[in-house]
Structure 1
């Protein structure tokens, strides 16, 4: 499992630009809003989910999207979804609760997690995510984020909100 500095080195190897800022730990969208100041671009919420068959998804949506898990499960063809456990999160993506991020897919070398992205993330400025810890925020251009997903072998399923 990588740490943030190893992640930044990997992004640089891939030629992907990023800008990171440090801050106090944040665990919720509300805490992030209060601490981020004037950080431009899209801010996201990340849901690490699983179904009864033990299949897993990482859903990345604009932070203010209302997400109905029942409807989301139908759209993804997953059936009933629930949140993945903290243990599963650590084991599969190598991050702690509160630090869920699409950049953690770099730790999913076995491609156990399916990626679902809000199409709204591709419209406008940078996308702000945690770099494996919730004490930093990393801004990346949407195109660079897509190149990152391609490099990790995680092709996104696109979601149009509201579902």
Structure 2
């Protein structure tokens, strides 16, 4: 188990956040996999403004296609694009294909704003990688919000 993965399990225990662990083949992109996991699965996109001054972790249902132009307009931004691999590593200490809100604990400068698509059902669990894309942890939406709060961030719901 990698160090960051072990750290997440320890942190979830300290926060009394229950999870269901699901081990599976590597998932690099939800659109490129046939794997179907129980619970509500989401994808996590790290987006940035044109000049890279603001970053957004956008969480949406895995089957939904992000309308980045519409999202930019809703945020009052001119344009959004995907963050680079180096941005992923610098801000969340994750690799492409393993983006997870658990990485928010490394964003101590609070450069990343958390956005959750309004279509994510807050009465269901949400599944996130614990820094490795061969495992998904399903946690309650309420516990996800508690984790985001613990990281010093705030999750805002938005239609994207």
What is the TM-score of this pair, normalised by structure 1? 0.89
Name the Cα RMSD after superposition.
1.5
User: Who is 2:70 aligned against?
Assistant: 71
Q: Aligned match of 2:41 in 28, 40, 43?
A: 43
**Matched position secondary structure for 2:119:** helix
How far 1:158 sits from its partner (Å)? 0.7
User: Who is 1:4 aligned against?
Assistant: 5
CA deviations over 1:21-54 (Å, ceiling 9, x no partner): 222211111344x124xx3211111111111232
Native 8 Å contact 2:19 2:138 kept in 1: yes
Query: Within 2, Cα distance between the matches of 1:120 and 1:103?
Result: 21
How far 1:91 sits from its partner (Å)? 1.1
User: Who is 1:53 aligned against?
Assistant: 51
What is the TM-score of this pair, normalised by structure 2? 0.91
Q: Is 1:130 the equivalent of 2:129? A: yes
**Matched position secondary structure for 1:35:** coil
Unaligned runs of 5+ in 2: none
**Matched position secondary structure for 2:43:** strand
Aligned length: 157
**Matched position secondary structure for 1:64:** coil
